[in-house]
Structure 1
């Protein structure tokens, strides 16, 4: 970034991150992987050393913001720590945010009537295996706004599902379903937070999607998570 070089993300998931130089004349390739033992990302290979230098910052540079054009931060880790502390000062820490979730859902249902919000929790277990009385831990959440549910009835009978991994202290996956309206605009219809792309998590999400949002027959579903969805479907049939 100090040389104003742009890059293309070739592969990204919860375990690997691979980039290549956007300039095809240079065969620069960098691969990093997540190390669970250290709870950190480590660069595994850089081949060859990056020699591409852009003399000017392009206007369509995809990795720069308005401020980064003039001020580059050499350490992503320091920037991440600083941004995390800033978020905590404004919104509270991770634990406080999860404690506020039931109140947020109550407010959502109260002031946005007919909104669907379904949360699942797990018992809180001590390190010695005993259950904490009167204490529960967040597990999964599905929500869909009433206007989105109503609007989907006028959309094309096609839905697309995608997900992204959560970063920070608590891991998980954010899922989102979108449709397409008559003007070919993207129309979001439902969301979910699950523990990961497990059969149980997908089953929870798809079950409530079908029950509360997309109950019509002959619906086309598009997703690159076909293996996980098929596993959830088979487990549901067996159960």
Structure 2
């Protein structure tokens, strides 16, 4: 009846309503419009027994702020705009759409409530999402062979941690460079929390998610629990590298769970730490170059310049441990992954889903990864070169400079390269 009233631009009031009968009339007492319905004795359905469809009232009783246009009703009318991987309408867009389609005027606060009702209708409440999480995790392991899921509750039986690593991601990592970037980002739903993520980079320099966890907060206990789950699929090894910010919680957790692996810090976070004190020295580009240097000889040529111009900065960098921030001193190969940008890019991509209930958040991640993997598989099937498209581009761009070099073979596996004079 609310939808009918909204469509035909009239308003009604409830004269009587109980479990067995409902009687409605027009808001104008002199109008003849009426509707009476009673409940069927053998079911929960109601049947209309009397309906007077004509209105004898005038247009003064037709208002733009329609009394039947509740947040729940309007939410049901726009719910198709919401769903997994859909950001949906924003409050200002809802205001405009409701006005254009239904002739109803609502304010920003009402539009926000309409948005919430639409999301609840499609995605359920946050409470329902946590209640059904264990079922969703079970279905993931059942439908995605090789996947790993965990859920942890506290002594009172309340949710604390959830971990998921999809089987295809874990299997693909065996063919990639063994460098993993980890990062955490806060959630913006009703119960807050933090999303932890571990990402790698595939052969075409694409973001490659490995594992996720929703935890209460980003601290030592939650990171340790996350790494324990990850270690079930990616065991500790001396050639494994983790890249993160300088959080002590991550460092201590890696020491406990991955003692053989190398822990490198993000170059950008290192520069952020020294920028307030040493920005005016003009040495920050040199620090960046020193971090990216491939050989120790190249590193020391740059670092000597830093030390001569600012001994205090050089001392700080030495105390920060060359092995953690300088590529040339890393015990294991970091390749081109000197920052946590791949993990932070994932967090940026999930900016909107971080507002959703936990199941909708994880389902959005799953659908996104499914789309990525399908598109990459299709592109790979059409690619005929021995190396990936991005590597082909790099080889082509460097061909001109390479043609200017003289190459002398020293033995079967070693060459000496010199610039042409």
- TM-score bin, normalised by smaller chain: 0.5 to 0.7
Shift in CA distance, 179/233, structure 1 to aligned 2, threshold 3 Å: closer
User: Are 2:146 and 1:114 equivalent residues in the alignment?
Assistant: yes
Q: TM-score, structure 1 length as denominator? A: 0.58
User: Are 2:134 and 1:102 equivalent residues in the alignment?
Assistant: yes
| Residue matched to 1:146 | 167
User: Are 2:259 and 1:227 equivalent residues in the alignment?
Assistant: no
CA contact (8 A) 1:166 1:172 kept: yes
Cα deviation code 1:115-174 (max 9, x no counterpart): 1001111233xxxxxxxxxxx221101111111111011111111112211112212101
Higher strand share: 1
- 1: CA distance between counterparts of 2:173 and 2:113? 40
| Residue matched to 2:220 | 199
Q: Please report how far the alpha carbon of residue 211 of structure 1 lies from its aligned counterpart in structure 2 after TM superposition.
A: 2.7
| Residue matched to 1:162 | 183
Structure 1 portions without partners, runs of 5+: 1-64, 125-135
| Residue matched to 1:208 | 229
User: Are 2:123 and 1:91 equivalent residues in the alignment?
Assistant: yes
Higher helix share: 2
1:165-180 matches, within 5 Å, as: 165-180=186-201
| Residue matched to 1:15 | none
Shift in CA distance, 212/66, structure 1 to aligned 2, threshold 3 Å: closer
Q: Please report how far the alpha carbon of residue 80 of structure 1 lies from its aligned counterpart in structure 2 after TM superposition.
A: 5.0
1:62-73 matches, within 5 Å, as: none
SS in 2 for 1:88: helix
SS in 1 for 2:177: coil
- Point out the structure with max Rg over C-alpha: 2
Shift in CA distance, 81/211, structure 1 to aligned 2, threshold 3 Å: same
Structure 2 portions without partners, runs of 5+: 1-86, 96-106, 259-421
Give the paired residue count. Answer: 161
SS in 2 for 1:212: coil
- 2: CA distance between counterparts of 1:82 and 1:182? 45
Shift in CA distance, 151/231, structure 1 to aligned 2, threshold 3 Å: same
- 1: CA distance between counterparts of 2:244 and 2:254? 14
